[in-house]
Structure 1
Amino acid sequence: MSTETVREPARDRQPSNAVAVLAVTGGLLAAVVAAALTALFAADSYAQYGLPDPGPITSYGLPVVRVIAESGAVVTIGSLLLAAFGIPAKRSGALAADGYAAVRTAGWAAAVWCVGAALLVPFIAADATGRAVSEVLSTEVLFGLVDALEEAKSWGLTALIAFLVAVTCRVVLSWGWTTAAFGLSLAGMLPVVATGHSASGGAHDIATNSLLFHLFGAVLWVGGLIALLAHAARGGAHVGLVARRFSRIALVCWLAMAVSGVVNSLVRVPLDQLLTTSYGLLVVVKVVCLVVLGVVGYYQRSASVRRIENGTGGLLRLGAVEVLIMFVTIGVAVALGRTPPPAELGPIPGTAELLIGYPLPEAPSTLRLFFDWRFDLVYGTAALVLAGLYLWGVLRLRQRGDRWPVGRTVAWLCGCATILVATSSGIGKYAPAVFSVHMGQHMLLSMLAPVFLVMAGPTSLALRVFKPAGKGEPPGAREWLLAFVHSPITRLLTQPIVALVLFVGSFYALYFTGLFDVALSEHWAHLAMNAHFLLVGYVFYWPVIGIDPAPRPLPHLGKLGLVFASMPFHAFFGIALMMSQTVIAETFYRGLDLPWMTDLLADQRLGGGLAWASGEVPLVVVMLALLIQWSRADDRMARRIDRKADADGEADLAAYNAMLKRMAEQDRTGG
């Protein structure tokens, strides 16, 4: 992060309510665009789905209400982003005046988000059944429809999360709780990703994963810019530095939106139908808007930062055009969501393709597990990005003349490679459909990849690469990382008993409580399971063999005891699976109707054998690493003692010998 001192304008001359006017204008513009494009391109969507036309209030009101909800979400997330990562808190950890103002804005926007999301529930119910909204407003009818409609339930959950964010923003006063509210607001976007066009039909795994990048890129970009303009209009501090930081975020968001948007569109519409279908034409319009946004936004932000550094201000005036184009793009996106994609109106995919996103015509083999790849956009991308960032950090150290152990770099790359293979090779492809392959993936993500990652010391590397923020400047990456490492949640998770319970208890809680049966049919649940496997493994191995100092350091005997305590639980889990007479998630696996999967119980027992056998191998590696670290710690202690003895002429040894001599003389005298 840059820590250059920039000259700030005394106060932006634009009135602070100008941003509110701009946001409302942009929201209205997005609503008009969404309604107009829906009328132009999606007027016959009900006939295409075989539904009666519910009338203009439902068909045109739904996109307008969705724009209201999404606009509230955008402003909420952007304002919390600014308060958490753009404005310095007080030394006590309390929010400064600018941060508190941003949080208050987020609170009001979250209320709008909540109301819009709640209103969407009856609109979606009416739209899905081809009725007028007034016909579904009775409690009995509405609850019955919502229970059967995943999209309506997702917006109901979103409304609940938005309500919690609004309440939190009314009472939060510290930087730590502001970051928690920011995380909660991001979580509020997830239910929407799990429904809609991207979550149904063939290739929904790729479509949903790409939509994650697309949606988060959009809300961070649009919301961040609005929050930045509001901060400048209030005459806030460090506008130039915050603008430069946002410019970097905006570039990453634009790249994420561009790439993920292309991937998502290719899943929904073939290239030869881009210009011959309503959905394809809307995709083209959206792509044009994104290109214009990228070009206009770059020049707008560059000019704004130069004017701020020259002390002339004008950020609001220069950023207004970018914001309005962004809201037009939101309107296009909402209309796109109202238009049936060609792939959804084509032939019905097979059962396996509907459930997991792609067909599996052949049984898994050793060659297919390692060479039949299907790239995971979330974890595959994360593995490549993490590897690239680590190598960039090592390169930065070498450019400064500092050294970094090669072994740590190799360990990190091995950990990233393990994540990539576990999620994007044939292992990741067959894991949703074959229990034994899933169990192999589980072992790789929870017991092997974290071992490599913690031995690489990523936190230590980051703290050496990132420079401290300058005096009076907003905290940067180094300060955020330190705050996270020393946060109460990190200290709780790395507490030995908590780490042990999470690590070994999650095996039993996931597979022996019915939770796994429920999660299998949802793509977002697969993403959550993989994240859980990685995180609990990292939390367990960090205080045991991690290079980075843990929030709760353990003595070597304590580390050894923690490892030994976990081993029987893994063995018992594998044996329990091997001896079980009941098939876990039998309904889902039989519903896949895979002709080569005939004996589910035998496959489950194979998975139990893998859990039992493969679970011991990483633990042996951990034991070896722990013993080596223990030996090296003893060597370092011995060298320190030798250096001290050389420096003081072995004064400690001489004092000890003198003490023994006095004790001997006292014994003789007493005798």
Structure 2
Amino acid sequence: MASTAATTRRLVFAVLLAVASVAGVTAACIAAVGLADALAVTGLSDPGPITTYGLSFFRAAGEIAAMVAIGHFLFAAFLVPPQAGGVLDADGYRALRIGAVACAMWAVCAALLVGLTVSDVSGVPLTQLTPLDVWSAAGLVETTAAWRTTSILAAVVAGTGLAVLRWSWTPGLLIGGLVTLVPLAVTGHSSSGGAHDIATNSLFIHLIAGSLWAGGLLALLGHAIRGGRHTDVAARRFSRLALWCFAAMAASGIINAAVRIQPTDVWSSTYGLLIVGKAAALTGLGVIGWRQRRSSIIALQRDPASRRPLVWLGFTEATLFGLAVGVAVGLGRTPPPQPTGEPSPAELALGFDLAEPPTITSVFFEWRVDVIFGAAAVAMTWIYLAAVLRLKRRGRPWSARRTACWVFGCLIVLFATSSGLGMYMTAMFSMHAVVQLLLTIVAPALLVHGAPVTLALQTLRAAGYDAASGPREWLESALHSPVIRTITQPWTALGVFAVGVIGLSLPAVFEIAISDHAAHMAMIGYFLCSGILLFAGGSGGGEPVPTPRRVQMPLVASALYALVGIVVMNMQNVLGDAFYRSLKLDWRMDLLSDQRLGGQINAAGGVLAVLTVIAILLVQRYRPSRKAGTIPAPGLDS
């Protein structure tokens, strides 16, 4: 028995090593072929074969390691159940340890890439660089700084993973593993030039979806090779996730390619041919995934011990994933065709041009869909309406008022991030103030009133006795977790809200938030999350809270908005002055006057919006209940 277990461990390790090797060798070969073109575009000297081959090899191998880590964290968190007491069982524990080790390898690869990238961008062979040279140059180049950050993040996640025994930590480790991919998304071809906002956002989605798909497949394949328990459950759950990941990868890949290359250049450039190769690999993966659903999943449902079809198709799919990652890394090392024309300063900074001043028509009817938040708003609407339809089919009614609140809340998020308003907010403080108001007050109030948690609990079915826990159990576990109970405490939620409102009135913070794309996206996410916590904070961590106390929070929030608005109105220096002037817009208005207008919007709009919410809460509190003596339930679903 012990020898069999050792053999399977070696086989699993060999599979993971083989996939990483396929990815690394493919990327290195592409880098060698495209070296002359890359040097001609950059004008740099040849850094030598160690850098040429090593940079691509370790990046591809490192990305496979990151996928292995993410996939095994996913496996431990959601594909196999823990023990009844919340402690990971043998399969989950093994997956978590493999994920932690893979994350450590990801940290090592990222650390090696710091030195290799310094050699690459300087044109100096790695053997001629000292550790002091690498350290001093690492913070001067965006790409090397990103690799250094990645290495630190991956090391932290790996160390945490080695110390975890309980299931409740595994979703956090999965999130941590995904966060290590962020520096990759905000550097490289997608982070520069025109339309870099769309390119960066689509690349981020592409990386997340690809890592969940490839990593989950490798974790499932290893589990099947070992003959682990609940393989049928894990395969069924992963199959559903893989379908969504395929759709996300296909859509984001098309969007990213469309802003990097013209259709006429696809067949006449190395960059275009690599895109074709990557598309062919993705198509092949989709076909294999379809075949998995048609054969392997059905075979496992009939007989949970029938793992052979899953393993053989999994081998093929894993190899193709290795090739796809290698091609993707080679694509990132290959310069795209140079666009015709010189982009404007605004286009270089924002990703798009703002040639005309804002008008009613441009604000409402000129749209540039935000690939992350705009797509999320559409997806949230569709999921919510699908859940309502499912309840209706079961003969259970759902409030039309709550549905309307959710839909309108999602529409506001879509409008604030993807319309002309979302475009001009990057260049005008007054427009920024309007978006901040919509995303911290109006949209969150509507979304919370849509009661998504209650809808989910009514829609999702319980796993049943002695069955593997599913989405309903995961949601209930999250709602009762100490983290959720803490952040939904009323004054904790208000504190999170206050940090965002006050922090963005600080010149240094505001400058970073508007000038850096990743920080800008984080700011929008913080707006939404802090607002949702503010209105959900009336739950008091799940305990009923009297209406007067629930009214106090919006009152304090409105006073905070008014105070910050007054401070901004009286400022003599312009927030984000250097960035706004760097855009060199021909129609630029007086920056200080525009900032004072933004302060007025913050002060007046914030008070008006929150007082409206207070009025709604009071009406709910004192209107007649359907049952005598009942009080409307506060909190997330108030």
Bin of the TM-score, shorter chain as denominator length:
over 0.9
Q: Aligned to 1:155, which of 147, 158, 161?
A: 147
2:491 and 2:537 in contact (8 A); partners too:
no
Q: Secondary structure at the match of 1:361?
A: coil
Distance 1:552 1:526, change over 3 A: farther
Question: Residue 22 of structure 1: CA displacement?
Answer: 1.3
- Is 2:187 aligned against 1:195? yes
Match 2:318 to one of 320, 323, 326: 323
* Residues 430 and 437, structure 1, Cα contact 8 Å, conserved in 2: yes
SS in 2 for 1:32: helix
Q: 2:386 aligns with which of 385, 392, 397?
A: 392
Go from structure 1 to structure 2 and tell me whether the alpha carbon gap of 1:12 and 1:617 turns closer, same or farther (over 3 Å shift).
farther
Cross-structure match for 2:596: 605
Quote the Cα distance in structure 1 between the aligned partners of 2:460 and 2:334: 46
2-side partners of 1:253 and 1:137: how far apart?
42
Choose from 268, 273, 290 the match for 2:260: 268
Return the offset for 1:126. Answer: 0.9
Instruction: Give the unaligned 5+ runs of structure 1.
Output: 1-10, 641-671
Could you say what secondary structure the match of 2:223 adopts?
helix
Alignment equivalent of 1:145, drawn from 137, 143, 168: 137
1:461 Cα deviation after fit: 0.4
- Aligned-pair CA distance for 1:98: 1.0
Alignment of 1:496-507 (within 5 A): 496-507=490-501
How far apart are 1:635 and its partner, in Å?
6.8
Give the match for residue 578 of structure 2: 587
The answer to whether the 8 Å contact 2:507/2:575 transfers is no
SS at match of 1:504: helix
In the alignment, the residues of structure 1 paired with residue 46 and residue 351 of structure 2 have an alpha-carbon distance, to the nearest angstrom, of: 30
- Of residues 37-46 and 483-492 in structure 1, the stretch that sits farther from structure 2 once superposed is 37-46
The partner residue of 1:377 within 358, 371, 376 is 371
Residues of 2 paired with 1:153 and 1:434: CA distance?
30
Q: Deviations over 1:13-72 (max 9, x none)?
A: 993432221111111111121111222234321122111111111111110010121111
d(CA) in 2 for partners of 1:391 and 1:476? 21
Residue 237 of structure 2: which of 218, 241, 245 is its match?
Answer: 245
Distance in 2 between residues matched to 1:293 and 1:96, nearest whole Å = 31
Secondary structure of the residue aligned to 2:623 is helix
Q: How does 1:333-412 map to 2 (within 5 A)?
A: 333-343=328-338, 347-412=341-406
2:417 is equivalent to residue 426 of structure 1: no
Q: What is the one-letter code of the residue matched to 1:201?
A: G
Distance 1:71 1:626 in 2: 51
Letter in 2 for 1:357: G
Q: Does 1:178 align with 2:178?
A: no
Do structure 1's residue 47 and structure 2's residue 40 form an aligned pair?
yes
- For residues 506-525 of structure 1, the aligned pairs below 5 Å read 506-512=500-506, 514-525=508-519
Contact 2:493–2:537 (8 Å) recurs in 1: no
Does 1:461 pair with 2:452?
Answer: no
Q: Is the 8 A contact 1:38 1:338 kept in 2?
A: yes
Cα–Cα, structure 1 residues 245 and 12, in superposed 2: closer, same or farther, change >3 Å?
Answer: farther
Partner of 2:635: none
Q: For each residue in 1:253-306, what CA deviation from the matched residue of structure 2 results, as whole angstroms up to 9, or x when unmatched?
A: 111111110110111110000000110010011111111110122203432222
Number of aligned positions between the proteins: 625
1:446 alignment counterpart: 440
CA–CA separation in structure 2 for the residues paired with 1:361 and 1:502: 37
| Residue of 105, 109, 118 corresponding to 1:116 | 109
Structure 2 CA distance for partners of 1:308 and 1:634, relative to 1, 3 Å? closer
More displaced 10-residue stretch of structure 1: 580-589 or 12-21 = 12-21
SS in 2 for 1:511: coil
**1:495/1:552 contact within 8 Å kept:** no
Deviation at 1:617, TM superposition (A): 2.3
2:505 touches 2:568 (CA, 8 Å); kept in 1? no
Alignment of 1:463-478 (within 5 A): 463-478=457-472
1:633 & 1:27 partners in 2: Cα distance? 65
Q: How much is the aligned-residue C-alpha RMSD, in angstroms? A: 1.8
Following TM superposition, by how much is the alpha carbon of 1:515 offset from its aligned partner in structure 2, in angstroms? Answer: 0.8
| Structure 2: distance between partners of 1:137 and 1:309 | 58
Identity %: 40
Distance 2:39 2:624 in 1: 71
Distance 2:345 2:312 in 1: 54
Q: Comparing 250-259 with 293-302, which one deviates more in the overlay?
A: 293-302
Find 1:129's aligned residue among 109, 119, 122: 122
Q: 2:320 corresponds to which letter in structure 1?
A: I
Report what 1:20 is aligned to: 13
Work out whether residues 491 and 552 of structure 1, in 8 Å CA contact, stay in contact via their aligned partners in 2.
no
Task: Specify every segment of 5 or more residues in structure 2 that has no aligned partner in the other structure, as ranges.
Answer: 632-638
Contact kept, 8 Å, 2:153 with 2:180, in 1: the verdict is yes
2:70 is aligned with 1:70: no
Write the distance in 2 (CA, Å) between the matches of 1:119 and 1:356: 32
1:358–1:103: structure 2 CA closer, same or farther, 3 Å change rule? Answer: same
Kept after mapping to 1: 8 A contact 2:507/2:576: no
Where in structure 2 are the equivalents of 1:568-583 lying within 5 Å?
568-583=559-574
**1:513: Cα distance to partner?**
5.3
Tell me the equivalent position of 1:85.
78
Match of 2:473 among 476, 479, 483: 479
CA distance in 2, matches of 1:178, 1:587: 43
Secondary structure of 2:504's match?
helix
Is 1:531 matched up with 2:522? no
Q: 1:158-217 CA distances to partner (integer Å, 9 max, x unpaired)?
A: 111110111111110111112111111111110111111101111000000110111111
Give the counterpart letter for 1:563 in structure 2. Answer: P
Q: CA deviation at 1:639?
A: 7.4
Residue 409 (structure 1) shift: 0.4
Larger radius of gyration: 1
Deviations 1:475-508 (A, max 9, x none): 2111111111121111111111111122233211
Query: Which amino acid in structure 2 is aligned with residue 336 of structure 1?
Result: L
AA aligned opposite 1:159: S
Query: Residue in 2 aligned with 1:563?
Result: 554
In 2, the alpha carbon distance for the partners of 1:125 and 1:637 equals 72
Structure 2 counterpart of 1:316, one-letter code: V
Superposed CA deviations along residues 535-565 of structure 1, whole A, max 9, x for unmatched, are 1100111144x8xx95243111211222222
Q: How big is the shift at 1:347? A: 4.3
2:100 alignment partner AA: G
Does residue 1:254 correspond to 2:246, yes or no? Answer: yes
Give 3-state SS (helix, strand or coil) of 1:573's partner.
Answer: helix
Contact kept? 1:86, 1:474, Cα under 8 Å = no
Name the SS for the 1:52 alignment partner. Answer: coil
AA in 2 matched with 1:151:
T
Q: Quick one: higher RCO (CA 8 Å, sep 6+), 1 or 2? A: 1
- The answer to whether the 8 A contact 2:504-2:510 is kept is yes
Cα distance in 1 between the residues matched to 2:624 and 2:341? 65
Matched, 1:627 2:618: yes
Q: Which moved more, 1:486-495 or 1:471-480?
A: 471-480
TM-score w.r.t. the length of structure 1 is 0.90
Which deviates the most, 39-48 or 489-498? 39-48
Residues 14 and 233 of structure 1 are in contact (CA less than 8 Å); yes or no, is this contact kept in structure 2? Answer: no
